[in-house]
Amino acid sequence: MKGHFGNYGGQFVPETLMHPLEELEAAYFEAQRDPRFQAELDELLRTYSGRPTPLYFAERLTKTWGGAKIYLKREDLNHTGAHKINNCLGQGLLARRMGKTRIIAETGAGQHGVATATVCARLGIDCDVYMGEEDIRRQELNVFRMKLLGARVIPVSAGSKTLKDAINESMRDWVTNVRTTYYMLGSVLGPHPYPVMVRDFQSVIGRETRAQILQQERRLPDLLLACVGGGSNSIGLFYDFVGEKQVRMIGVEAGGRGPMLGDHAARFAGGRPGVLHGTFSYILQDEDGQVMPTHSVSAGLDYPSVGPEHAALHDIGRVEYTNVNDAEALDAFHELSHLEGIIPALESAHAVAYAKKLKLPADQIVVVNVSGRGDKDVTEVMRLISHKKAQNSEENPF
Amino acid sequence: MTRIESKFARLQAEGRKGFIPYITAGDPSLDVTLELVLALDKSGVDVIELGMPFSDPIADGPVIQRATERALSNHVTLRKVLHLCEKIRKQSDVPLILFSYFNPLLNYGLEELARDAAKAGFDGVLASDLTVEESDTFVRTMRNAGLNTIFLVAPTSSPQRMKKIGEASNGFLYAVSRTGVTGEQQELAGELKQFLQTLRSHATSPIAVGFGISRPEHVRAVWQEADAAIVGSSIVREIEQHIGKPDLVQRVAAFTGWLKGCPSQ
């Protein structure tokens, strides 16, 4: 059996996709062994995306919180403003190597869509991005950005009109146009080999972090913190440290509006193992095995399943998973902006919020992954603030 | 021998080809589905695929997606579909396949499902996103309960995969006529003949062809190359167009008769 992490992972897809998945697996493992492929990827990561991204000591945040030393891994400083480009450059080079003439992708927050459109522009490959109508509303800036980059954004009106439905539509497109089209999946999700491949492309985050913290602190960190939607930025940070038993790792899911099924995207708090989008992992589902709608203030965490490797790391207890609600994430969004001059993505704000909640002692070192920048969220936050003000003025007319 | 196996044996003995309609259970309601199954049986179809809806039907085109949404908004559950099967069995012996995605089946529990589906009167089970690689427990559990396990085989499947899928399938093999999702089309893929010839040399079960079969001439073309034709979307569309009308069941039965080439019905 291929592509399993403990009991999780695997390949659960319509038979038509098995041949392309086998082809993809072979092409990926061959590329991975090819030094020229790696050299070209490294060069693009350096000169095009701006890697290595800094590991920044957040002095004012640390002082204000009065506890552990907080370091921020600045994935937000990547080209296109998030860690997503690490994976897209890798897969883009792979698609070109495989002779594919068209790339499709799904996007939730729009960060993966923008990174895909960017890489397609850079490599001269046609690009179609599927995006739920609800996400298009929340992320109109990224929609325009993708169009500027020459991609076609295809709205998805089925189901909950979010990331899950965009993935359904991408898989339908792929199954239909499988001979010419490359499916650039944006997270450590889906059938094998995607969870392995995307993790490998993202693991540069953890490798850099290790070298940087050793240089700055002369020791490994006590804790790594990252938000978990599909789970690519977190696995990217964690992977290089999985063997370091003294390094604690926590993944932060979206607690949304509250603990009721349908109000959050905390798969490890409210989900059960099941099969969605080609892989066996934790899923938010009802008692009949129907996948449930999710809610989060951040589109990038608003997804009912989670990468299968996270499911395995959860079950063996190597990584702890917790969640942070919308309000706490918004507070952290403001706090990081005010104290450090860094506007984080709402996704990343979940990890920041939990760093504050933990109240670790001053002799500890924490690395928080700032997986993306918050420019894309500014209009949505503005809307939420004016909505809240309107509510408050109704409650307190004087 | 299941009802599916004896049906294909009889078809072969009589030199006939099979016709297999797909309908989604609970579209537009479980009561109408019961009537539809009985009417389709009466009109002479050979096997019926009864769809258990799933929230994320990645292998289906827009027509069956809409049927799925209608059924789920009617709160159709696997338990209710099993109950429907029991009701059908009081009045009909038509071979029945439980057709779904893997998650609702897995969620029910494979042991429990095998027991309850066999007891309710199903003859076979198919999950469109279950690959042979992941199917060992599923195949063993269903077969122990006396159910057929049917798998999809695609034009993109390699000869080795065809062989593996042939071994995992009994009753019949579901050959997908083309790459893509379920849905109607004007012309059948020209490479179908070649694909089925290759498939024949790697598998022994009867072969039924589905995906895109939406006209009488498609059915006849499939009959030339395979043992049975499977029609889903165009029948589901016929249901959709007559929702709320008193003659829905008769219309769908007549449409099915037309597809099979029996204009008199």
B49 is catalytic: yes
Q: Are A19 and A323 in contact (CB under 8 A)?
A: no
Q: Three-state SS for A217?
A: helix
In DSSP terms, A8 is beta-bridged to A5
ipTM over 0.85: yes
- Would you tell me how many other CB atoms lie within 10 Å of the CB of residue A6? 14
pLDDT at B71: 98
Q: Is the peptide bond before A193 cis (omega within 30 degrees of 0)?
A: yes
pLDDT at A394: 63
pTM for the complete prediction?
0.95
* Min distance B15 CA to chain A CA atoms (Å): 30
Structural domains of chain B in order of their starting residue, each with its CATH number: 3-260 (3.20.20.70)
The DSSP output letter for A372 is B
Query: Which residues 268-307 of A have a C-beta within 8 angstroms of B?
Result: 272, 274-278, 280, 283, 285, 287-291
pLDDT grade, residue B191 (50/70/90)? confident
Q: Three-state SS for A257?
A: coil
Q: Is the pLDDT of residue B262 over 70?
A: no
Which residue is it, tokens 């990468």? A307
Chain A residue numbers with beta carbons less than 8 Å from the beta carbon of B181 are 172, 175-176
pLDDT grade, residue B181 (50/70/90)? confident
Among the listed residues B5, B41, B46, B60, the single catalytic one is B60
Q: Is the pLDDT of residue B265 over 50?
A: no
Do the Cβ atoms of A289 and B107 come within 8 Å?
A: yes
Please give, one letter per residue, the 3-state secondary structure of A142-189.
HHHHHHHCCCEEEEECCCCCCHHHHHHHHHHHHHHCCCCEEECCCCCC
Residue of A164, A275, A281 for testing the chain B interface, max B β-carbons within 10 Å = A275
Chain A residue numbers with beta carbons less than 8 Å from the beta carbon of B152 are 14-16
Which residue is it, tokens 């209009």? A379
Among the listed residues A49, A371, A376, A380, the single catalytic one is A371
* Min distance B176 CA to chain A CA atoms (Å): 8
Q: Is the peptide bond before B28 cis (omega within 30 degrees of 0)?
A: yes
Residues shown for chain B: 265
Q: What's the rounded Cα separation, in Å, for the pair A286 and A299?
A: 22
- Would you tell me how many other CB atoms lie within 10 Å of the CB of residue A133? 16
Q: What's the rounded Cα separation, in Å, for the pair B131 and A319?
A: 30
Nearest to B179 among A178, A276, A289 (CB): A178
Mutual angle of helices A140-148 and A111-123, in 10-degree steps: 10
Q: What's the rounded Cα separation, in Å, for the pair A308 and A131?
A: 23
Chain A residue numbers with beta carbons less than 8 Å from the beta carbon of B83 are none
- Would you tell me how many other CB atoms lie within 10 Å of the CB of residue B215? 18
Q: What's the rounded Cα separation, in Å, for the pair B153 and B148?
A: 16
Residue type, A56: Y
Q: Is the pLDDT of residue B201 over 70?
A: yes
Q: Is residue A75 classed exposed, middle or buried when 0-12, 13-18 and 19+ CB atoms within 10 A define those classes?
A: buried
Q: Is the pLDDT of residue B188 over 80?
A: no
Q: Are A169 and A156 in contact (CB under 8 A)?
A: yes
Chain A residue numbers with beta carbons less than 8 Å from the beta carbon of B104 are 288-290
Q: Is the pLDDT of residue B101 over 90?
A: yes
Summarize pLDDT for B28-59 with one digit per residue, the tens: 999 999 999 999 999 999 999 999 999 999 99
Backbone angles phi, psi at A29, to 5 degrees: -65, -30
User: In B99-133, which positions are buried (b, 16+ CB within 10 angstroms) versus exposed (e)?
Assistant: bbbbbbbbbbebeebbebbbebbbbbbbbbbbbbb
pLDDT at A304: 96
In DSSP terms, A74 is beta-bridged to A370
Residue A356 has, within 13 A of its CA and on its CB side, a CA count of: 21
Sign of the torsion formed by the C-alpha atoms of A87, A90, A94 and A96: positive
Average the pLDDT over B224-229 and give the result.
96
pLDDT grade, residue B112 (50/70/90)? very high
Which residue is it, tokens 């996270």? A310
Q: What's the rounded Cα separation, in Å, for the pair A44 and A100?
A: 20
Q: Three-state SS for B150?
A: coil
Judge whether B1 is closer than 8 Å to chain A, CB to CB.
Answer: no
Least confident of A104-113, B176-185, B197-206: B176-185
Q: What's the rounded Cα separation, in Å, for the pair B53 and A377?
A: 36
Judge whether A19 is closer than 8 Å to chain B, CB to CB.
Answer: yes
Q: Is the pLDDT of residue B264 over 80?
A: no
Chain B residue numbers with beta carbons less than 8 Å from the beta carbon of A171 are 58
Residue type, A100: K
Residues shown for chain A: 398
Output the CA–CA distances (angstroms, integers) from residue B181 to A100, A105, A176, A190, B232, in the order listed: 21, 18, 7, 18, 11
* Min distance A339 CA to chain B CA atoms (Å): 43
pLDDT in tens, chain A (398 residues): 679 999 999 999 999 999 999 999 999 999 999 999 999 999 999 999 999 999 999 999 999 999 999 999 999 999 999 999 999 999 999 999 999 999 999 998 899 999 999 999 999 999 999 999 988 987 888 999 999 999 999 999 988 888 889 999 999 999 889 889 999 999 999 999 999 999 999 999 999 999 999 999 999 999 999 999 999 999 999 999 999 999 999 999 999 999 999 999 999 999 999 999 999 999 999 999 999 999 999 988 999 999 999 999 999 999 999 999 999 999 999 999 999 999 999 999 999 999 999 999 999 999 999 999 999 899 889 999 888 888 776 655 55
**Dihedral angle of Cα A11, A12, A14, A20, to the nearest 10 degrees:** -20
Q: Is residue A368 classed exposed, middle or buried when 0-12, 13-18 and 19+ CB atoms within 10 A define those classes?
A: buried
**Which of B195, B249, B252 is CA-nearest to residue B226?**
B195
Backbone angles phi, psi at A280, to 5 degrees: -95, 115
Backbone angles phi, psi at A193, to 5 degrees: -95, 10
